[in-house]
Amino acid sequence: MNYSITNKNDEMVMALVHYFITEENYTPIMVKGVKDEIWLENIDGPYRIIRINSNHIHNEEQYNFDLFKTSRVMEQIKKKTLSLKMNALNILVDVGDNFKVKQEDKNILSIVLDDVSKFIDNKNIKDLFPKINNKLIKDKEGIDLIINVTNDINAKTMEHNEEYTKIFSPKKMIVTPILILICFVMFFLMYILGNGSEDVGTLVFFGANVQGLVKSGQVWRLVTSIFLHIGILHLIVNMYSLFIIGGQLETFLGKVKYLIVFLVSGLVGSLLSCVMHETVSAGASGAIFGLLGSLLYFGYHYRLYLGSVLKTQVIPIIILNLIIGFVSPGIDNFAHIGGLVGGYLATMAVGIPGKKRTSDQVNGIIVLGILILFLGYMLYR
């Protein structure tokens, strides 16, 4: 004798949840105050939010109130994830026979789930989720369906956890201490072989950034100037910042990508500085601002985990330091701005673990290349 432990609606919902989690990389999110609803999120998905609502909707008034509740929850998620726009796929499981769903909100697409075949054949679903016809479970029901769904979702969750653990777990710093060591060695060499770090002639001899010399062909100064500092306070502040920010970013990006971002950021910062003024300049602050720009890009793509850090730490630090740079004499804010932009674009170009997309990398390479060529043109015109 066979016993049915689920009804058809439950089986359809389970099959959909299984598909969106295992095939489309959506993750369940907890929403306070909701009942008989499943909320899924994928910040890179064609729909940021997928909501499966099993509550009964029998008239237009109830449907409009349901849309209102959905939009309010979406607003909360937008604030949490620093998102300017958000769209949702609103799947309604239990709708009255005499009620026809109308699209009342441009950001919320509502579809009635009364039959799996009709749902799969919906043009919006076919276009945005082309794998659904082949990957959606259709040949299981009852206890077999529950076992399949549970095992597959648990396996996918473990895969995600392992990936995130690999990215966010502390790792031994190698590149950051080497960069700091180089800066300290160069600082002491300016006193041993020259007249000190505040002497213009010594700075120029060791490779400080000077517009006239760069234009004459000494382009290597755009990089060597990153490792020179003017005075002990300048060195200590920058090296402390590099240790804190760089050590974290080296863990996130990996050693090679981190080094590329650091050098490219410093290069772009030096270029913009060289374009905008003729004074002698040096320091790693442009590259360090590039690391902040890199954190912005990385944090945005992992904002479910780092959203509060971006809002309370990274963004305020960037704004505060830029303001200080504009109101305080002697600070090369053009290097800061150039480094910030360069770091953001360099991170887009090299890609970040777990979120790397070829289209984003190509766009990053193209925009970064255009920026460097433009600054080069402005310098040598």
Q: Do 88 and 230 have their domain in common?
A: no
Residue 47, Cβ density class (10 Å: 0-12 exposed, 13-18 middle, ≥19 buried): buried
| pLDDT per residue as tens digits for the range 91-129 | 988 887 777 777 777 889 888 887 777 788 888 888 888
d(CA 233, CA 153): 54
Q: Do 21 and 53 have their domain in common?
A: yes
| pLDDT per residue as tens digits for the range 6-24 | 567 788 888 888 888 888 8
Asked if residue 1 is part of any domain, the answer here is: no
The pTM for the full model equals 0.79
Give the rounded percent of residues in the chain with a pLDDT score beyond 70. 95
* CA dist list (Å): 304 to 80, 127, 133, 201, 285: 8, 27, 30, 50, 29
Give the rounded percent of residues in the chain with a pLDDT score beyond 90. 43
* Average pLDDT of the chain, as a whole number: 87
d(CA 107, CA 180): 49
In the prediction, which pLDDT does 233 show? 93
- Give me the catalytic one of 265, 270, 273, 285: 285
CB-CB contact of 181 with 48 (8 Å): no
108-112, strands of its sheet edge to edge: 27-28, 37-41, 49-57, 88-95, 108-112
Among residues 135, 168, 201, the one where a domain terminates is: 168
Asked if residue 3 is part of any domain, the answer here is: no
Q: Do 317 and 294 have their domain in common?
A: yes
**Other CB atoms within 10 Å distance of the CB of residue 29:** 15
Q: Do 191 and 261 have their domain in common?
A: yes
Angle, helix 315-327 to helix 285-301, in steps of 10 degrees: 150
Asked if residue 345 is part of any domain, the answer here is: yes
Q: Do 159 and 180 have their domain in common?
A: no
Asked if residue 204 is part of any domain, the answer here is: yes
Q: Do 160 and 216 have their domain in common?
A: no
Q: Do 255 and 162 have their domain in common?
A: no
Tokens for 358, please give them.
């070829």
CB-CB contact of 145 with 15 (8 Å): yes
How sure is the predictor about 270, in pLDDT bands with cuts at 50, 70 and 90?
very high
Strand partners, 111: 91
In the prediction, which pLDDT does 2 show? 42
Asked if residue 116 is part of any domain, the answer here is: yes
In the prediction, which pLDDT does 78 show? 82
Asked if residue 2 is part of any domain, the answer here is: no
d(CA 126, CA 175): 47
- Give me the catalytic one of 18, 229, 234, 336: 336
Residue 59, Cβ density class (10 Å: 0-12 exposed, 13-18 middle, ≥19 buried): exposed
In the prediction, which pLDDT does 32 show? 67
Q: Do 192 and 340 have their domain in common?
A: yes
* CA dist list (Å): 263 to 67, 144, 255: 49, 55, 12
Host domain of residue 111: 8-168
- How many domains are contained in the chain? 2
Tokens for 289, please give them.
């601002």
Among residues 152, 168, 184, the one where a domain terminates is: 168
Q: Do 210 and 195 have their domain in common?
A: yes
Asked if residue 163 is part of any domain, the answer here is: yes
Asked if residue 144 is part of any domain, the answer here is: yes
- 164 vs 375: which has the higher pLDDT: 375
Q: State the CATH number of the domain containing residue 192.
A: 1.20.1540.10
In the prediction, which pLDDT does 4 show? 46
Q: Do 160 and 179 have their domain in common?
A: no
CB-CB contact of 87 with 108 (8 Å): yes
Active site residue 285: yes
Among residues 133, 168, 203, the one where a domain terminates is: 168
Q: Do 199 and 295 have their domain in common?
A: yes
Q: Do 205 and 154 have their domain in common?
A: no
